[in-house]
Amino acid sequence: MSRFYSHVNTAKSILGTYSGQVPFSVFLKAFFAKEKKFGSRDRKNISSFCYSYFRLGYAFKEQSIDERLMTALFLSTDVSIEWLQKEKPEWVASIALSLKEKIRVIGLNLKTVFPFADELSQGIDLLQFNLSFLIQPDLFVRVRPGKMEAVETKLHNSQINFSRVNESCLAFANGTKLDDVLEINKEAVIQDLNSQRVAEFFPMKERQSWSVWDCCAASGGKAIMAHDYIAGMHLTVSDIRQTIIQNLHSRFKEAGIRQYKSFVADLVNPESLQSSLQDLKFDLIICDAPCSGSGTWSRTPEEMVFFKQEEITRYSNLQKSIATNTIRYLNKGGYLLYITCSVFKKENEEVVDFLQQAAGLELIKMELLKGYDVKADTMFSALFKL
C-alpha cells in the first residue's frame, strides 16, 4: 500500500512539471535517469499512472491533478482497492465493472476527451473515437512474405500470446518484447495495422518495372513494405536529416534491401530537390507527409493534451507545399500516394481537394483507415494519377 502511494505521489510530481516541450517518453527517461532509486517495476507503474492521466484528455479539466489522477486510475486496471477505499469509497463496488460502465459511474461525458471535434475528417464515430483514448492500443507486426510459419513457431515456443489479424498481420499486447524472439525487419516489421493497410493503395499490377521514391521515408516501414509487394521496384528514399538516412541504412540492411538510392533534402525547398534529383522522374511517389500525428494520439495521449489547434493549418500548408514540390518529379501517368496519420480534414480531404484543383491530379481512391475501434492507429491514404 505504501509503495502504491509512493508511485501515485511520484506520478503527481512528474505530471506537475511536464510541459510538453519534449515527448513524454523522453521526459520520463531523463527523470528516471536522475532518480535511480526506482526499479523496473516502479518505473513501469509510475509511467502507467502518468499515461492513464493523459488519456483523460480534456475531460474534467477543472479538477486538480490529484482528482484527475484518481479518476484515471479508477478507469484503468492500475488502481489499488485499499487506496480506493480510503480516497473514493463510493467507487469500490464498481471496481470490477467494464470501462463503459465505469464511465457511467463517474459521469464522464466522452465527448469532452478530444477537444478538436470540429476539425475531424468525415465518417469518424465521435463517441467511439473518444473512447479509444481511454484504451491502450495493441502492438502490431507485419510478417514479411514467406516468414509466417517460422514466426508463429518462434512465438509459440516462447509462449508469447498473439492474435492473427490477417494473412500477414499479428497483434500483441502493447509492451510485448519481441526483439529476442524474432529477427526484426528480416522476418517481421513493427508496423501499425493501418500503416500496413496502406499497401492496399499500391498500384502493383500495371507494370513490370517501377521507379519508386519514398520522399519522407522516416524509419522506412513503408519502403520495406513496397519492396515486399511491388515487383520490379527501383527504390529511392529521402528525408530531411542525415541521421534519419543513416538509421534507414541500418534498417534496410537488417531487411536485406541492398539496391536503392538515398539522399537528404528539404522537400519544402525546390532548389534542394533540384540539386539532388536533377531530371529524374518516378512512376510512384510515396509521400507519408509530416503531420499532426493525431491518428496516433491514443499511443501518445500527452500530445493531444499539449497540441495547439493552430498547428493544424500549419501542417496543412506544409503538406501542400511538399506535395506540390514532389509531383514535379512524377512521370506522366505516374502515381502519387499521399499518406498521413492524422484525423483532421485540413490535413486529409482538404489536401486532396487542393491536389486535384491546383496540381491537376486525378484521384483514384482515398480512405480514412479507422483504427480507433480495433486498438490501432487511424491513417489517411489517397492515391492520385498524373
pLDDT tens digits along 277-294: 999 999 999 999 999 999
Three-state secondary structure call for residue 115: coil
Given a contact cutoff of 8 angstroms between Cβ atoms, the answer to whether 367 and 123 are in contact is no
Whether residue 356 is found in the same domain as residue 269: yes
Statement to judge: residues 203 and 145 lie in one domain: no
Looking at 190, 214, 229, the residue that finishes a domain is: 190
Q: Using an 8 Å Cβ cutoff, are 369 and 196 in contact?
A: no
Residue-wise pLDDT tens digits, 220-270: 999 999 999 998 899 999 999 999 999 999 999 999 999 999 999 999 999
Judge if 314 and 216 occupy the same domain: yes
* Residue at 119 is within a domain: no
Cell digits for 56? 483523460
Q: Is residue 249 part of a domain?
A: yes
Name the band, by pLDDT with cuts 50, 70 and 90, for residue 2: confident
Question: Concatenated DSSP letters for 280-336?
Answer: --EEEEEEE-----GGGTTTSHHHHHH--TTHHHHHHHHHHHHHHHHGGGEEEEEEE
Task: Determine the Cα–Cα distance for residues 204 and 232; give it in Å rounded to an integer.
Answer: 10
- What pLDDT is stored for residue 78 in this prediction? 62
Residue 133 resides in a domain: no
Confidence (pLDDT) at 82: 79
| Grid coordinates given for 337 | 500516394
Say what the pTM is.
0.95
Q: What is the pLDDT of residue 285?
A: 98
pLDDT of residue 287: 98
Interatomic CA distance for residues 52 and 270, integer angstroms? 44
Does 179 show up as a binding residue in the annotation? no
Please check whether residues 154 and 280 belong to one and the same domain. no
In this structure, of 176-185, 200-209, 262-271, the range with the lowest mean pLDDT score is: 200-209
- In angstroms, the CA 10 to CA 28 distance is 11
pLDDT grade, residue 213 (50/70/90)? very high
User: Rounded to the nearest 5 degrees, what angle is found at the Cα of 124, between the Cα atoms of 123 and 129?
Assistant: 170
- Active-site residue numbers? 341
Query: Taking a C-beta distance cutoff of 8 angstroms, is the pair 212, 228 a contact?
Result: no
Q: 160: domain range?
A: 139-190
Query: By the 8 A CB rule, do 120 and 126 touch?
Result: yes
pLDDT of residue 50: 96
Cβ contacts of 79 within 8 Å, gap of 6 or more: 73, 95
DSSP assignment of 171-196 equals EE-TT---TTTS-BTTTEEE--HHHH
Q: 120 in a domain, yes or no?
A: no
Residue 338 falls inside a structural domain: yes
Average pLDDT over residues 94-105: 93
Q: Is 239 annotated as a binding residue?
A: yes
Looking at the 3D structure of the chain, how many domains does it have?
3
Cα dihedral 380, 311, 111, 56 sign: positive
Whether the predicted pLDDT of 204 surpasses 70: yes
Residue 368 lies in a domain: yes
In this model, does residue 172 exceed pLDDT 70?
yes
In whole angstroms, what is the distance from residue 236 CA to residue 278 CA?
14
**Where do the H-state alpha helices sit in the chain?**
2-17, 24-34, 40-54, 65-75, 81-87, 99-106, 126-132, 148-157, 193-197, 221-229, 242-255, 270-277, 301-306, 311-326, 349-359
Cell numbers standing for residue 140 = 502490431
pLDDT at position 1: 56
At 238, which CATH number?
3.40.50.150
- Report the phi/psi class of residue 160: left, alpha or beta, with left for phi > 0 and alpha for psi in -120 to 50: beta
* 376 and 327, same domain (yes or no): yes
Q: Which of 201, 125, 24 is nearest to 371 (CA)?
A: 125
pLDDT, residue 206, reads 67
Q: Is residue 209 domain-shared with residue 161, that is, in the same domain?
A: no
Residue 228 marked in a binding site: no
Parallel/antiparallel/unpaired status of strands 163-164 and 169-172: antiparallel
Both 32 and 159 in one domain: the answer is: no
Statement to judge: residues 322 and 287 lie in one domain:
yes
* Average pLDDT taken over every residue of the chain: 95
Look at 46-55, 71-80, 313-322 and tell me which has the smallest mean pLDDT.
71-80
- What integer pLDDT is reported at residue 207 of this predicted model? 74
Q: What is the CATH number of the domain that holds 154?
A: 3.30.70
183 shares its domain with 203: no
* pLDDT surpassing 80 at residue 39: yes
pLDDT > 90? residue 80: no
Residues 233 and 325 in one domain: yes
Q: Identify the CA nearest to 126 among candidates 135, 134, 117.
A: 117
Q: Is residue 126, in this structure, part of any structural domain at all?
A: no
CA 202, CA 301: separation in Å to the nearest integer? 31
Mean local confidence (pLDDT), 97-109: 95
Of the three residues 108, 123, 149, the one that is the final residue of a domain is 108
Q: CB neighbours of 70 closer than 8 A, spacing ≥ 6?
A: 87, 88
Which residues contact residue 222 at a Cβ distance below 8 angstroms, ignoring those fewer than 6 apart?
Answer: 195, 198, 214, 286, 288, 339
Which pLDDT score is estimated for 81? 74
Q: Are residues 207 and 346 in the same domain?
A: yes
pLDDT band (50, 70, 90) for residue 318: very high
Q: If you ran DSSP here, which 8-state letter would residue 113 be given?
A: T
* CA 259 to the chain's CA centroid: 28
- Looking at the fold, whether 266 and 150 belong to one and the same domain comes out as no
Is there a domain that residue 122 lies in? no
